[in-house]
Chain A
Amino acid sequence: MTMDIPVQGAHGLGRPAAARPHSGELAADSRSEQRRILGLSLPSLLLVTALLLIPVGWLFGLSFFKRGVFTFDHYLRMVEHSSYIAIFQTTFSLSILVTLICVLLGYPVAYLLAQLPRRWATLGMALVILPFWTSLLVRTYAWLVLLQRTGVINTTLISAGIIDEPLQLVHNYTGTVIGMTHIMLPFLILPLYASIKAIDMDYVRAASNLGASPTQAFLKIFLPLSLPGLIAGSLLVFIICLGFYVTPQILGGGRVTTVSMKIQQNIGMYFDWGAGSALGVALLVFVGLIFLVAHRLAGLERMFKG
């Protein structure tokens, strides 16, 4: 696979500096020259500052105010109100479940594709990447159509005589989990594939030569070597799941409320900036904590390597 496909959040943070020749006639390495070159990133930095850092900082401030009075009410509500606690529970349980399913389904795919001959691996990766780059809304719609009472899955099951009544597969938790799993799977497979591909298979062969069964060689050698990539991929999936809005809104049919949906409700319907901001800040804190854990466990740079 030679496509330069960036995984969402796939970057090479903190790469070690390449050894640079210290040729004296080129003044390029002087620090002032370096600062000037760094200035090329200024327009992008300004954009991030104006549209992300300042607004989020502003919202952080707003989250402590209610009708112009300083208060912790918006945060207290999250730990005291059962409806708010339920929203956080739904969001976390949904994210954990989807992440687990993605790991169970995605690991074998990345594992096998990394070993297949190039042509088959390319075909397999194309099947992973096409959905990845197709609108999330389109994919959510596809599942809505497939899972509805008169949808393909129900009519097939009925005509095969497996069920008599159509199953309720959508507008509930089940449909949300199916749709989100479909959307998140490539986020797990792509980084995991890259990190598995980098494993030196000689270790596994050495284990076999020394008498390990294929299962032993996998569990003792391969799995531990692939663990950093797996942890990075699953944390990425988990973080994106925590902020999910579109899919639970459409496939959940009002029976699933995530933190993002509550934020949208607070702001879009009630213009309650304080409450919405506080939920957003809480979400950001969780995401930040997970990034921190990811950094400790797997090294942040690995998490961002496509």
Chain B
Amino acid sequence: MSAQPIPISHWRRAWLYVLVAAVLLFLIVPMLIVVPMSFSGSEYLEFPPREWSLRWYASYFNSPEWMASTRVSFAAAVLTALIATPLGVAAAYALNAVRLRLTPVLQVILLLPQMVPVILIGIGIFYIYIQLQLVNTLFGIVLAHTLLAVPFVVVTVMSGLRSYDMTQEKVARSLGAPRWKAFMLVTLPQIKLSVISGALFAFITSLDEVVIGLFIAGGDNTVLTRRMFQSLRDQIDPTIAAISSLLIILSAVVLASVAVMSGGKKQRSEA
């Protein structure tokens, strides 16, 4: 990983620094600006706010509809992470350990949910759910979100397994441990970080999902994103600024914990 300077003076490419800084600002500023705006006291979201207040947070936390949707979304996200993680870990283990001609084919199939346009997945699931009477049920939502989340877990865990030496598990088995026990006691502790990252990505994937939810997550089980989408289409409700700020902070916290975990892993492996 060379970080050696290229033989070009910094001045000769000052324009590059300026351009890159501008693009990075373009990426981050819209998100940062929503947070102070959510504390605005007025009906119109201003920046900087002329008067500060918590009224939009109050309007969020005092609304039974928003609260109900938040509960549904979090329940779905937790359940999705709990189901998608073992499924994804098992699949990643299999794809990593087995070298048959079938393996790459299975891998493509497992990753299809990330390749097929989500609108098509959405209407397909909607159609099936109508027959199975799963529309607007928590079970149906979790199942659909798990479909989207499994590829993330598979990818993350496979990258963890690639930097893990499988001979360790073989040693455990040659000493008499059954495969299952060897995995749990020897392999899993060492790929723990990629498993936790995968679970967090599964959680976020479920929490942020919009399109499929528009078809199958209504009624009593209206997810947060669907309610946000609907109120965005109609008018700009400043309550959404408060919810958005909370979601941004949540993403930042989740990412920071993933970064801290993998940073710690790096240091240990370098030591």
Query: Measuring CB to CB, which residues of chain A are less than 8 angstroms from any residue of chain B?
Result: 2-6, 8-15, 17, 20-21, 23, 25-26, 28, 31, 34-35, 37-41, 43-45, 47-48, 50-56, 58-59, 62, 105-106, 108-109, 111-113, 115-118, 121, 124, 126-131, 133-146, 148, 150, 152, 182, 185-186, 197, 201, 204-205, 208, 214, 239, 242-243, 245-246, 249-250, 260, 263-264, 267-268, 273, 276-277, 280, 283-284, 287, 291, 304, 306
Nearest Cβ on chain A to B170's Cβ, whole angstroms = 6
Contact indicator A113/B20 (Cβ below 8 Å): yes
Picked from B16, B111, B194, the residue with its CB within 8 Å of the CB of A4 is: B194
Nearest Cβ on chain A to B247's Cβ, whole angstroms = 5
Q: How large is the interface on B (under 10, 10 to 19, 20 to 34, 35 or more residues)?
A: 35 or more
Query: Measuring CB to CB, which residues of chain B are less than 8 angstroms from any residue of chain A?
Result: 1-8, 12, 16-17, 19-20, 23-24, 26-28, 30-31, 33-34, 37, 44-47, 87-88, 90-91, 93-95, 97-100, 102-104, 106-121, 123-128, 143-144, 146-147, 150-152, 154-156, 158-160, 162, 167, 170, 173-174, 193-194, 197, 201, 204, 207-208, 210-211, 214-215, 225, 228-229, 232-233, 236, 240-241, 244, 247-248, 251-252, 254-255, 258-259, 262-263, 265-266
Contact A186/B27 with A10-B155, A146-B33 known, Cβ cut-off 8 Å: yes
Chain A: CB-nearest residue to B1: A197
In whole angstroms, how far apart are the Cα atoms of A26 and B177 in the complex? 12
- Note all chain B residues with C-beta closer than 8 A to A186: 27
**Additional A-B contacts beyond A38-B102, A185-B23, A214-B12 (8; CB < 8 A):** A56-B121, A141-B232, A145-B45, A205-B6, A214-B7, A243-B118, A264-B214, A283-B119
Contact indicator A11/B151 (Cβ below 8 Å): yes
In whole angstroms, how far apart are the Cα atoms of A185 and B88 in the complex? 27
Contact A112/B17 with A287-B116, A291-B115 known, Cβ cut-off 8 Å: yes
- Note all chain B residues with C-beta closer than 8 A to A137: 208, 210, 225, 228-229, 232
Nearest Cβ on chain B to A1's Cβ, whole angstroms = 9
Picked from A6, A20, A139, A284, the residue with its CB within 8 Å of the CB of B120 is: A284
